[in-house]
Chains A and B, each alone.
Chain A
Amino acid sequence: MKVLRLAKDKLDLFASVLQQFGEVHAPVRQGEKFAFRRLSRWSEACLDYQRTILPPKKYFLPQRDTLFEYKEGQGYVPVIESADRRIILFGVHPCDIYGLNILDMVFTGKYVDPYYQARRKSIAIIGIDCTPDEHCFCRSMRADFVDHGFDLFFKDLGDRYQVLVGTALGDDMVLATGPLFEPATKEDFEEYKRRSSEKRKAFKLDVEIRDLPEIFEMEYDSTLWRELGERCLSCGSCSMVCPTCYCYDVVDEVRLGSREGRRTRSWDSCLFSTHALVAGGENFREGRPARIKFRYYHKQRGFVAEYGRPSCVGCGRCISACPVKIDISEVINKLRGMENVTA
């Protein structure tokens, strides 16, 4: 992997030239929080941010997506909205890149989702390192470092960035900017190692995930699920902000008075009361305890069985978004019989 350096005071020039590869989107301040948006000027970008409200998932799996349209006489008309819109996501944290790598397993693995795949091809990823806050436990989930899933990755070294080139597209981006980038030096590597060690120490939350599927197996009948179900509002906020929750609902929208319409899909959540409702009125997870339990079991146990790792990346969004303060790290520690354990 090619390793370069870029002086911080040249970042705005790099971002300008980058526009030849597509629209530049980056975290932008939204009140007290941050959201990925298209930049209309470089100063809107906040690269020193905590987490964005929604993860980059929203670009690849939009909240609402038209799958196809249908018309009498024409049959099905395939639609992949904005698939040719070239976008550069600038400033994606490692956990969110890891989240996209997990979505890749689901949407480009055994069954390929053409809508997701088309957007994955048209959206470039420029990652950036971050500093953990009190809700981050990406290190526990082994998602604090990524070695693939980005075109370029920036690591803060003070007055400069160490830049990893991850793909041929990333290399093209570097070449297009002429002499802005320089080869990384031994000094840069030393500084990177020093900062990497500091980052490790900055984590306040630690969640032990080894043997977690077994613990979940043992605690299937735990009273904790009922307690959580009584607190949970089934609002689905944790699913909406999760970088790896990918459940969606499919609806046919027929235009009134016509013989045409479209099929859309939109985000769904296993916390919603209708998620497991099937024809005939049977609901497999009618109560909130069953639904919140299902969410935990799918992310921490079922996904491990299918893909070899939990689908949680430890971004902390579900902790910060939950209106009744259900905290995944506390839930896991309680299941382990290790209440109030912190790093």
Chain B
Amino acid sequence: MASKHKILIVDDDADFAEAIASFLEANGYQVLQARDGSEGLRIAKAERPDLVLMDVMMRERTEGFFTIQEMRRRPELKDIPVFVLTSIYSQVPGFRITPEASWLAHDAFFAKPVNPAELLEKIRQFLDRPSAKEVNS
């Protein structure tokens, strides 16, 4: 059941995070929010979300990249799927992340502005699989 899944949004843009949170809550998900990478790690450790939606450019331009690496290093967080939601392409001309970028250790990538329907579809692919909860618990 989707209603049992917890999604953590890590984004310093409160308006964007709130809009996505409302949309996800309306679709039956429980949503948590953090405004930077450190808070995101703290909440992830305490709440063990089923999925993290990670912004990249927060207090620092590459904060999301480093936060994902930190998650992957911590045994209790390393298996949580992470979707990257970022506007870095429009902010840093020429910088591109290849779809197979293993260094980013992410599960999906969305360039902002994000199409909510596409995001929801991807979330469902990850979380509404029969085994997703067991894998991440």
Contacts and interface: CB of A to CB of B under 8 A. Distances in A.
A and B, one complex?
A: yes
Interface of A: 12-13, 15-21, 23, 39-43, 176, 178-180
A16 B64 CA distance: 10
A15 B94 CA distance: 16
Contact of B66 (A42, A176, A178, A180): A42
Contact of A39 (B37, B66, B95, B103): B66
A176 B62 contact: no
B69 A19 contact: yes
A10 B65 CA distance: 14
A15 B62 contact: yes
Rank and list the top 3 A-B pairs by shortest CB-CB distance, nearest first: A20-B103, A16-B65, A16-B62
B135 interface: no
B4 interface: no
Interface in B78-105: 92, 94-96, 101-103
A42 B103 contact: no
B21 to A, nearest CB: 25
A13 B62 contact: yes
Contacts of A40: 66, 70
B62 A12 contact: yes
Nearest to A21: B103
Contacts of B96: 178
Given A39-B66, A41-B63, A43-B60, A13 B103 contact: no
A12 B37 contact: no
Contacts of A39: 66
Contacts of B62: 12-13, 15-16, 41-42
Contact of A17 (B63, B73, B103): B103
Given A23-B69, A176-B103, A178-B96, 4 more contacts: A15-B62, A16-B103, A42-B61, A178-B95
Given A39-B66, A40-B70, A179-B94, A12 B103 contact: no
A30 B137 CA distance: 37
Interface residues of B, number: 17
Interface of B: 37, 60-63, 65-66, 69-70, 73, 92, 94-96, 101-103
A41 B68 CA distance: 11
Contacts, number: 44
B92 A20 contact: no
A183 to B, nearest CB: 15
Contact of B65 (A19, A43, A176, A180): A19
A42 B57 CA distance: 12
A41 B69 contact: no
Which one of A16, A17, A176 has the highest number of Cβ atoms from chain B below 10 Å of its Cβ? Answer: A16
Nearest to B102: A20
Contacts of A43: 60
Contacts of A20: 101-103
B73 to A, nearest CB: 8
Contact of A41 (B66, B101, B102): B66
A182 to B, nearest CB: 11
B100 to A, nearest CB: 11
Contact of B92 (A13, A17, A19, A176): A13
A41 B60 contact: yes
Contacts of B63: 41
B63 to A, nearest CB: 6
B112 to A, nearest CB: 17
B6 to A, nearest CB: 24
A13 B95 contact: yes
B92 A41 contact: no
Nearest to A17: B103
A178 to B, nearest CB: 6
B37 A41 contact: yes
A279 to B, nearest CB: 46
B87 to A, nearest CB: 14
Contacts of A18: 103
B77 to A, nearest CB: 13
A54 to B, nearest CB: 23
A176 B73 CA distance: 21
Contacts of A178: 94-96
A17 B66 CA distance: 10
B66 A16 contact: yes
A204 to B, nearest CB: 36
B43 to A, nearest CB: 16
14 contacts: A12-B60, A12-B61, A13-B62, A13-B95, A16-B65, A18-B103, A20-B101, A20-B102, A41-B62, A42-B60, A42-B61, A42-B66, A43-B60, A178-B94
